[in-house]
Every structure is written in C-alpha cells, then in structure tokens.
Chains A and B, each alone.
Chain A
Amino acid sequence: MSVKIAGELQSGNVIIVDNVPVIVLKAQYNKSGRNAAVVKLRMKNLMTNRISESVVKADDKLEGVMLEKKECTYSYYAPPAHVFVDSEFNQYEIDAESISDLEKYLVPDMTDVCEVTFYEGRPISVVLPKIIVREVEYTEPVVRGDTSGKITKSAILKDSKHELQVTQFVEIGDKIEIDTETGEFRRRCN
C-alpha cells in the first residue's frame, strides 16, 4: 500500500475506495476557489467492473496500491477483451472498456512495447509508448495556391481508421509520429 495525493492521480492508477480496489479511468483536475482544486475521478471497481464517478479535494490523501508491471506487445482483439503477450508468450486479456482511450492506436501484431499493469496477478491496464509510428491511409492532397490559411488537415490512420489532425505536407502512405499522451501528430518520419 502507498499514499496517493489526489491531485497527482492519473488514468491507470489503482486506489482503494471503500476497501475495494478501483482503477482510475480518468482524472480531471479543476481549480476551485482560493487556489484550492478538486479532482473529478471516473473509476472502475476491479471486483465488480462497475463504473462510478467521484470528486475529491486535490490535496486529499488516498490509499494507493503497489502494482506489478510487465513489458508486453499487443496481439489481437478477442471481444470483449484485447490480448497482450509477454516475452515468454504468456497471453493476458484486458477488458476493452478499461483501455477504451487507447483502442485507436491498437493494431494487430503491432511491435510497440507496452507496459501492462497487474493487480493481484490480473492485468488491468496498459500504457503505450509515449511516441508511436503509424501509417496514413488517407488524407486530402495539398491544394497548390491554397491561401485559406489552414495549417492542418485531417488524416485517417491505416488499420485503426483513427482520424487526427496533421500538417499540410503529410501525404497518403506517409509514416507519422503520434504522441499517445496528447493524441497529437508530432512529425512525419519519411
């Protein structure tokens, strides 16, 4: 067990609430009055999978849980779970709802090394590398002489069909770097 300050909570953290482990799915920090702050938490009960929402003061102390972590790669989707594999070919299933924010980056047999978190031997969350590379399946070509002033355009990623904003010079087939923490395009690779 460890102490977690509410204002430092992030998605993927596991805390004890009412004697039950819950995983933080989303932590939203908001400044309140007189330099105080509150944090809205969206959490999943690891025993029942029930989703709930709470709010805490940013300086509240919560009971955290020390968790085991392993490097794995993503393998495939077997509804309702995603399957990850470690270096010894052990397979771990993680409920898709728990990692719904990441699904847009999951591609079968992708080579990115992910960090899977376990609670009492059970896989509960995944963290992707901060930077991943994906191929652009479709984007509008640059219009020569376009003076509209737009500096970004939409692009659709291969396999996941995820859409994001890229710079004007990105073309179909380009490989691009994406920041998984912000979800933003970083740069073209080739």
Chain B
Amino acid sequence: MRRWDLFCTVVDNFGDIGTCWRLARQLSDEHRIDVRLWVDQLDSFARLCPAISTVAAVQHVNGIEVRHWSSDFPKVDAADVVIEAFACELPATYVSAMADRSVPPVWINLEYLSAEAWVEDCQGLPSPQARPSLKKYFFFPGFTAKTGGLLRERDLMCRRAAFDTAAQSAFWKSLGIQVMAPDSRSDEVRDGLPSRDELRVSLFCYENPALPDLLECWSNGSAPVRVLVSPGAASKQVSDWLGEPLAPGLLRRRASLTVQALPFLPQAEYDQLLWTCDLNFVRGEDSFVRAQWALRPFVWQIYPQAENAHLVKLEAFLIRYLEGFQDSAVVRRCWQAWNGCGDIQTAWRDFVANRQSIERHNKDWAGQLDRLGDLADNLVKFVSAS
C-alpha cells in the first residue's frame, strides 16, 4: 500500500485543498507513502502553498506529486489506495482503471467533519458500488475514539512550544505588522511590535451579520483591541464597516479598535498567527481544527447550510467540547450569537472576560483530542486492516 492517489475538488474557499494538502504531507512525511494529489483549482492551492505553479499539469512539491485535475483526465494506473475527499466524484476513466487492477485498490471517501453521534455509526462502513469488484469505505473525521480523529502532525505541539517570544517577534515583522503609538490618532504606520496591553484577535469568517455589531463593540470598548483580518469575506465586511478600503499593510483605527489587514497566509504562518493571537475567530473545517490545536480561546463560524442543518452540528460540537466546563454557558452564548442566534455584544463581553478559564479548558480539550490519535495515522491503520 505504498502508492496513494488523493482527489480534491475545490468547491469554494480553501478548506478542501487545505485539508487535503495537510493530509498529503503527513502521509508523505510521516508514513513514507508516495502520494499523488489531484486538484482541480491550482490557483486556490497556490495561495495556501506559494511553491505551487498554477499552470503546471504535473509538479513535485514537498515530495508530493501534484497533478492538475482537468476535464481531460489522462490515462493513468490506479494507485493502491484511492481517497476521494469530501465526497468528490472520481473521473469515470480512473474508476475503470481501478476496476482493471488485479488487486482492487482500497477506496476511501473522506467525509466532512461533524461532532454528531451518527458519525460514529457510519465510520468505516463499506459503500456498495456499481462494479462489484470495487469496495469503497466511508471514513469520518471526528472528536471521539469511534471516529477517525483530527489531522495533527506529529511535531505540531513541539513546534508550537518552540514558538517563543523571539520567534513571535520575527513572525510579526515578517508580516509587516506595525503598531501605532497608543496616543497616535493618525493612520501613520510606526515601527515595532503590537503593544502588550491590547487584545490581539485574528478574524477569519464567512460573511457574518453579527460582525458589524462586534466591530462596534470593540470600537466602543474601554480596552484596546487589535483585529488582524484575513482576506476574503472578513476583509470586505470590515472594509464596508470602516467605509474605506482595507488592504494588507494598511492600518485603520476607530476609537479602541485597530484594524490591520493581513495578506493571505500559507498554512504554516496561519498556524503561527493562531498561536500568537490572544483569541481567534475561525470558520469552516480546516481553520477550526487548527484553532483547537492552538489552545487559545476561539469562536467558530460553522459553514451555513440549508434548513439550519448547521445549527444542529454546532450544538453537537458544543455539547462535546464544553462537557464538564464550568463557564460553558459563556462560550455557548458567544458561539451561538456569532452564528446568528443572539446578541454578540453582550456575549462577547462575557466571553472575553472569561478567556483565561476558556484557555485552560482548551488545553484539556486538546489533550482529549490528542489521545484519539491523528487522522492520517488512523487512516493508514484503517487501510492496512481493510
């Protein structure tokens, strides 16, 4: 089982390719597996990993063969293990190549992350296929021992621990992040690190109706807040609220609030941002998982779904995550408000007031998750047993 093909379609945003790229690197680096990663949108991929060429049909990056998955799919031999990420549809010619092998490949559908109980019942089950010689299995990431766990590189926590004050200073500087003198009222950029008496918040979100109220709250609050805004929906909404453009390197100030736009960060740097900020707003799946390993207090915006199906999933996670935590009501209110159910301003004030106990809880929570083993490792074991 040395050759694996991993298929990824970028439906929207960066979560799909973000997860697939992490998995591909772990399989290659930690399990010495020959990985061929098929991606339909190299532009999105290149933003996460600048070493990626957006035009090459075939390229090798970090020991992984990256193939552009175009509509004109080439004739290739099927690998020993085939992973379709997030239920993407494999090319028909490739499925034929799988059926043509003398020993059929292990075929895995890597599913979306959910904390709901039904995931445990479906984990690892086979899925009937039109070609009886082929067997596909569903593999679910998750938060319990009966699921596949979460992606986590073996050295992640060591790297986080080694990210000391000097490394953090270098990180801020590498981003070109400057700080204004506390008494400054201009947009003039001054050299130096963010001051230590301000709350540093990273912001990565989908378009969120609660964001203007939160910006208002930060602006009118007595404590200084520096919000580091990721490009995309968050940046656009903050810019609309400010009434002026926002671009990487630009600094805007409204009373107690300082807004600083970030460039698109590759994965390693985004991790460092999560480690360095006092508090993180994350969204979707990939940044949500990384925020849990970052140990800092975080607020999750779940991917919105029809018929409010996402609220059921949000609640399922909150139940698991907050079990036994004395300040659970504070976290629940803030997360619900951020996802459209409640007043974000009141919820935020309670949340930030309790951030130290939330951070302690997050360390315990990450410890629980760590004991599940990581997804790549669990996947390799599952494939071997299949």
CB within 8 Å of A: which of B231-260? none
With contacts A34-B112, A55-B138 taken as known, whether A40 is within 8 angstroms of B86 at the C-beta atoms is no
| Stretch from A25-33, A73-81, A117-125 contacting the other chain | A25-33
Is B116 in contact with chain A by the CB < 8 A criterion? yes
**A62 to B132 Cα, complex, angstroms:** 12
A175 CB to closest chain B CB, in angstroms?
37
CB within 8 Å of B: which of A1-48? 15, 17-19, 28, 30-36, 38, 40
Q: Please, which residues of chain B bring their CB within 8 A of the CB of A133? A: none
With contacts A32-B111, A36-B87, A38-B138 taken as known, whether A53 is within 8 angstroms of B305 at the C-beta atoms is no
Q: Say yes or no: A57 contacts B132, CB within 8 Å.
A: no
Interface string of B176-213 (1 = CB under 8 A from A): 00000000000000000000000000000000000000
Shortest Cβ distance from B109 into A: residue: A57
Residues of B within 8 A of A (CB-CB), count: 26
Q: Say yes or no: B128 contacts A28, CB within 8 Å.
A: no
A103 CB to closest chain B CB, in angstroms?
24
| Stretch from B118-126, B293-301, B365-373 contacting the other chain | B118-126
Interface string of A108-141 (1 = CB under 8 A from B): 0000000000000000000000000000000000
Q: Please, which residues of chain B bring their CB within 8 A of the CB of A33? A: 86, 111-114, 285, 303, 305
**A57 to B118 Cα, complex, angstroms:** 14
Is A56 in contact with chain B by the CB < 8 A criterion? yes
Q: Say yes or no: B125 contacts A55, CB within 8 Å.
A: yes
**A37 to B317 Cα, complex, angstroms:** 18
Q: Say yes or no: B118 contacts A34, CB within 8 Å.
A: no
Is B309 in contact with chain A by the CB < 8 A criterion? yes
Interface residues on A, range: 20 to 34
Q: Say yes or no: B305 contacts A35, CB within 8 Å.
A: yes
Is A147 in contact with chain B by the CB < 8 A criterion? no
**A122 to B125 Cα, complex, angstroms:** 29
**A78 to B116 Cα, complex, angstroms:** 41
Report the tally of A-B residue pairs with Cβ distances under 8 A: 61
Interface string of A54-65 (1 = CB under 8 A from B): 111100101100
Q: Please, which residues of chain A bring their CB within 8 A of the CB of B125? A: 40, 53-55
Shortest Cβ distance from A31 into B: residue: B309
Is B11 in contact with chain A by the CB < 8 A criterion? yes
CB within 8 Å of A: which of B264-309? 285, 303, 305-306, 309
A68 CB to closest chain B CB, in angstroms?
24
Q: Say yes or no: B127 contacts A34, CB within 8 Å.
A: no
A91 CB to closest chain B CB, in angstroms?
34
With contacts A33-B303, A35-B305 taken as known, whether A40 is within 8 angstroms of B122 at the C-beta atoms is yes
Q: Say yes or no: A40 contacts B121, CB within 8 Å.
A: yes
Q: Say yes or no: B132 contacts A28, CB within 8 Å.
A: no
B267 CB to closest chain A CB, in angstroms?
20
The 19 listed contacts between A and B (C-beta, < 8 Å) are A18-B128, A28-B118, A30-B116, A31-B305, A32-B112, A33-B285, A34-B86, A34-B305, A36-B87, A38-B111, A38-B138, A40-B118, A55-B122, A55-B125, A55-B126, A55-B127, A56-B127, A56-B128, A57-B109
For the A-B complex with A30-B122, A53-B125, A55-B125 known, give 8 more contacts whose Cβ atoms are closer than 8 Å. Answer: A33-B305, A34-B303, A35-B305, A36-B112, A38-B138, A40-B122, A54-B126, A55-B122
